[in-house]
Amino acid sequence: MRVHPPTEWQRRRVGSVAAVANLVPLVGVLTLGWNVYSLLTLYWIEGLVTVLLAAAKALFAERGSPGLPDIEPLHELREKRGGWRPVSRLPAVYPRNVPFAASILGFWTVAVLPASVLYWVTAEPAIRPSLSLLVGGVGLVITQLHEFLSDYLAGGEYADVSAQEILREPLQLGLVLLTVGLLASAGDRSGGLVLLTGIVIVKTTTSVYRIVTDHTDLPVPSVLDEAFDGSHVEPRPDIDTPDGPVRGRISVDAAPVLLGSLPMIAFGFAHRSTFAILIGLAFAALTGGSVWLVLGLVFVLVVAGARIGSYYLRYGTIEYRRYEEQLVAYDTALGAVQWTTSVDSATFSIRNAIPDRLLDTGTLAVSGADPDDRDTQLGPVADLDATIERLELPVADPARPERDSAVIASALLLALFFLAVPAGLALSPKIDTAQLIGLAVGVGPIFLLPVVLMIWAALRRI
């Protein structure tokens, strides 16, 4: 949707204002006596705003992104089709772009913010507050906000870019922040006038280049864009709804979906950066660092909420519809078909899922679904037998393994056996806090893995 798109004169005016705003730091260095800490403060504020707006831009981008397979956080959402329009005056938000927005915010949260807080707390930089510094910061922020509202949303630029392509600008600013940060850590002696002027000129040139290429039709060589060549493709095509009436429909049961999302939280901390945050959280809990403990808990809750929300959006908003010969998975929140399959050619089998055993619900494994002849699932549903009957599905053996008390007892006893060693170490008076943290990091996963496997085996036969 394009609401009141700006004219070419308005677009060039935005570019001119942005260029002037980027020249404010140069004036500050040459005539107002700004030091390296002033530059670092200004560019850090600009970087934060850039990252937040880049994440917002990524959500609206209509072009597809090739991405890196299974690398981005919440990468499973890249398979989702359809978009959601939260406000009628705004374009649609695409869940397939959430992994890229999460990558932008995640890098800033895990890498930049902790390092920045640690630097400001330990180095105590000599910042010289001034009206010119305030004006420069406000000018850069207003310029970016105006560009986002006027050109990207109202001008319809979101229709011509991909989420992956938007990563370019935060990357450029990150390099500038790294350079200025290294200079700041070395002190004012490395921040001479010539060097500071050079940094501002390079950063300003980069920003003006982006403004000119994005907001005008001038024949500027796309040197930087070549690094992002091929970073957008056509989005996944929509799947057509079969002709004919709906013979039956079944909605997903939300409770087993939410329960099934809990193990997915562990994958959110599988990356070394997020695992490092967990180690810091454990250290803060043992040493009594209340501030870091609160920050760590907030981070854990955000990651857990993102994993649960991602899993629910993948499975919890689906309605399964039976047409004459086709079975369709329709996302009621996004208003788009996710997959379809011929009932006669697909293979249906009972999935022995732990949430289904605990809640007495049911899930079917489906093989041979379009597109891409992929494996997927139907459910979980509240009544599996009624679902099979209503959708007329050819399930050969709609039964799960019987409860096995011997397997459950054996698995739980083995889990307790493996837990005995770390529990004994934790309660031993000969092990201090530092040693306990080291053992938890070094050998904790060795004992945790068999415990998880034993509990998983017990739950599958409960």
Distance CA 366, CA 368 (A): 7
Q: Reply yes or no on whether the pLDDT at 254 is more than 70.
A: yes
Distance CA 404, CA 401 (A): 8
Q: Reply yes or no on whether the pLDDT at 54 is more than 50.
A: yes
Name the one residue in this structure whose structure tokens are 């991602």. Answer: 310
Residue 174: pLDDT band (50, 70, 90) is: low
β-pair partners for 370 = 340
Q: What are phi and psi of 350, to 5 degrees?
A: -75, 130
* Tokens coding 398: 């709609």
Reported as a single tens digit per residue, the pLDDT across 92-141 is 999 989 888 888 887 777 777 777 776 666 666 666 666 767 777 787 78
Distance CA 213, CA 168 (A): 13
β-pair partners for 206 = none
What is the average pLDDT score of the chain? Answer: 75
SS3 (DSSP) at 84: strand
Give the lowest-confidence range in 151-160, 330-339, 378-387: 151-160
Contact 381, 253 (CB under 8 A): yes
β-pair partners for 328 = 321, 340
Reported as a single tens digit per residue, the pLDDT across 180-227 is 666 655 554 444 555 556 666 666 666 666 655 555 554 444 444 444
The model's pTM: 0.73
Residue 323: per-residue pLDDT: 92
Among 56, 46, 51, which residue's Cα sits nearest to residue 21?
A: 46
Q: What are phi and psi of 320, to 5 degrees?
A: -95, 125
Contacts of 90 by beta carbon, 8 Å cutoff, 6+ apart: 1, 60, 153
Domain boundaries, the chain: 8-228, 248-391, 405-460
**Most confident among 33-47, 349-363, 444-458 (mean pLDDT):** 349-363
Name the one residue in this structure whose structure tokens are 């002709």. Answer: 243
